[in-house]
Amino acid sequence: MFQSLSDKLQSAFRRLRGKGKLSEADVAEAMREVRLALLESDVNFKVVKDFVKKVQERSVGQGILESLTPAQQVIKIVHEELVSLMGSEVSRLTLASRPPSIIMLVGLQGSGKTTTCGKLAKMLHKQGRRPLLVAADIYRPAAIKQLQIIGESIAMPVFSMGQQNPVAISKAALEYAHSHTNDVVIIDTAGRLHINQELMDELKGIKSAVQPHQILLVVDSMTGQDAVNVAQSFHAELELDGVILTKLDGDTRGGAALSIRAVTACPIKLVGMGEKLDALEPFYPDRMASRILGMGDILSLIEKAQANVDQAKAQEMEKKIRTQGFSLEDFLDQLQQVKTMGPIDQLLSMIPGFSNSKQLRELQKDVDPSELTTIEAIIRSMTPAERRNPSIINGNRRKRIARGSGTKVQDVNRLLKQFEETKKMVRQFTELGQGKNKKLKLPLFS
C-alpha cells in the first residue's frame, strides 16, 4: 500500500535531513520531488498543486528555517497537510436514532460492492447490530447468489425477491426489517461498467423510495484518478455521504485516497484491507499519513492485537513463560493468533522503522509468510507428547515428522534448534526481571 509513494517521499526528505540548515532553495527542490511523487501516484493535479503550495508556504517561514531540526519541521508540516487533505478527523457511519438504519451501497461493476456489503454486515454485527442484506442487483449474473453465499458464510440474513424491480425489492426489504427486528438494512444496488443515466435513474428511485440514512460509494482504490472521477459523478447525482475504498492492501498508487476528499468533499469512511470478510476498517487520516511517510501505524497494530488475541490465553501464556513451561503446543497456539491478525507483511508495515518497501523486503527475507505455514505443518506432524517435550524427538521421530509435514529433516532440526534458543532467551529475560542474571546474552537466529 502506497509503497512507491512512500519510498519517493522518504527519499526527498532524506536529502533534507542531511543539511544542518535549510534554505528556500532546499525546500523548493524537495517540494519539486514531492510534487512529482504525488503526480506519479495518480493524485489529482489541482490537489497536488494546492498541497505543495501550502507546504512550501509554511516551510519557508523564519521559525522553520532557523530551527535546530528544520528537516523534521518540514516533515511535520507535510504530515499535517496530508492529514488535512484526507479529512483531518475520522468520519464514522451515521446510524438512525430510531432503527432500522438504511445504508445504500452504490458503485460500478468490479469495485467489490457485493463483498463489501458482507464485510459491512459482519463489522456491524460485531458492534451488536442485527443487519439485513438486500439483494437489489438484479442484472449482474449470479449477483443475488453471491450475496446469499456471503450471507450464509457470516450467518447474516439476505432478503431477495429474484428479478423483480429493485425499488420494490428495497421497499419490501424495509418492511421485512421492521417485522424481523433488523436494525440495519444494507442494500446492494446494481452497478454498470460505466456511468449512464439509466443506472442513475434507478438509484435515484431507490433513494426516493426508502430514504437511506447513508449512501456510500464503493470504489476500487487501484483505479487511481478514475476513482475520483467516478466519485464526482455519483456525488453530483446522489449526494453521497461517504466513500468506501476497496483493495487498499493491493499495489495501489494512492491517488484515490489522497484526492477523493479534496475533490468531492466526501469523506472516506471505511477501507477494505484484504479479501476476507473481516478485512474492513475505519479510515484514519492521521494514521494513513503516518504510514505514507514511513512512520508506521502502531495504534492500528495494537487494535488488531486487542481484537484478535484471547486475553485469557495471553495471561496463561505469561504464566507459562515465567515458570518456563512454554512448549511447542503453546508456540503453535501463538502462531495461530498472530495469523488471525492478518498478513505478516501488513503487520510489519505498521511498525515504525519497518514501514517502507525496502525495509520490508529485507525483513521478509527473514520472516517469510510461507515459512510460518511450514512451521505449522511440522508442529502438527508431531504427537502431543512430542510437542510438550521436544527432547524426546530422536532421529527416527525427526524422519517421521519430516515425511508427515512434507519437509526435510533439516527443516525439523532448524525449528527445534530455534525453539530451544527462544526458550533460553525467554529464560534469560525472566531471570533478568527477577535480578538473577546481570549479563544478558541474546541467541542469534539463522
Tell which of 293, 321, 350 closes a domain: 293
- Count of CB atoms within 10 A of residue 379's CB? 21
Residue 174 located in a structural domain: yes
The alpha carbon of residue 64 and the mean position of all alpha carbons in its chain are separated, in whole angstroms, by 34
For residues 347 and 302, give the distance between their C-alpha atoms in angstroms, rounded to a whole number: 10
- The H-or-E segment that residue 14 falls in is helix 3-17
Taking the mean position of all CA atoms in its chain, how far away is CA 11?
Answer: 24
Degrees, nearest 5: CA angle 215-82-93: 25
In a domain, 94, yes or no: no
* The pLDDT value given to residue 302: 52
CB 203 within 8 A of CB 238: yes
Same domain, 243 and 380: no
Give the dihedral sign, CA 276/238/221/345. Answer: negative
Quick check: is 438 in a domain? Answer: no
Position 178 scores a pLDDT of 93
Q: Cα separation of 125 and 140, whole Å?
A: 27
In a domain, 443, yes or no: no
At 146 the pLDDT is 95
Residues 287 and 308 in one domain: no
> Are residue 176 and residue 255 in the same domain, yes or no?
yes
Query: Which own/partner contact pairs does 379-385 have at CB distance under 8 Å and 24+ positions apart?
Result: 379/328, 379/329, 379/331, 379/332, 379/415, 380/332, 380/405, 381/405, 382/328, 384/329
| Distance in angstroms (rounded) separating the CA atoms of residues 222 and 253 | 7
Domain boundary among 293, 325, 355: 293
126 three-state secondary structure: helix
Contacts of 385 (CB under 8 A, 6+ apart): 392
CATH at residue 211: 3.40.50.300
Q: Are 102 and 185 in contact (CB under 8 A)?
A: yes
Number of neighbouring beta carbons within 10 Å of residue 268: 26
pLDDT truncated to tens, each residue of the chain (446 aa)?
567 787 788 787 877 776 667 788 888 888 999 899 888 888 888 999 999 999 988 887 766 656 557 777 888 888 889 889 888 888 889 899 888 999 999 999 888 999 999 999 999 999 999 999 999 999 988 899 999 999 999 999 999 999 999 999 999 999 999 999 999 999 999 988 888 888 899 999 999 999 999 999 999 888 777 888 889 999 999 999 999 999 887 656 677 888 888 888 899 999 998 888 988 989 988 888 887 776 654 455 555 555 555 556 556 655 655 555 678 887 777 776 666 666 655 555 555 554 454 555 554 555 556 677 888 899 999 998 998 888 899 999 999 999 999 999 999 998 888 888 777 766 665 555 555 544 444 343 33
Same domain, 51 and 176: no
Side by side, which strands form the sheet with 242-246?
158-159, 131-135, 184-188, 101-106, 214-220, 242-246, 268-272, 280-282
- 288 and 238 fall within a common domain: yes
Q: Which domain holds residue 74?
A: 3-86
pLDDT score of 440: 41
User: If we measure between CA atoms, which residue out of 279, 293, 362, 396 comes closest to residue 86?
Assistant: 293
Same domain (yes/no): 137, 253: yes
Q: How many domains does the chain have?
A: 3
Q: Which residue shows C-alpha cell 464526482?
A: 232
Same domain, 369 and 346: yes
CATH of the domain at 62: 1.20.120.140
Sign of CA dihedral 166, 170, 171, 176: positive
Please give the grid coordinates belonging to residue 206: 431507490
Q: Are residues 223 and 119 in the same domain?
A: yes
**CATH number of the domain that 364 lies in?**
1.10.260.30
Q: Is the domain of 13 the same as that of 31?
A: yes
Q: What is the pTM of this model?
A: 0.68
**Angle at the Cα of 371 from the Cα atoms of 366 and 374, rounded to 5 degrees:** 155
Question: Does any domain span residue 40?
Answer: yes
Residue 88 confidence (pLDDT): 81
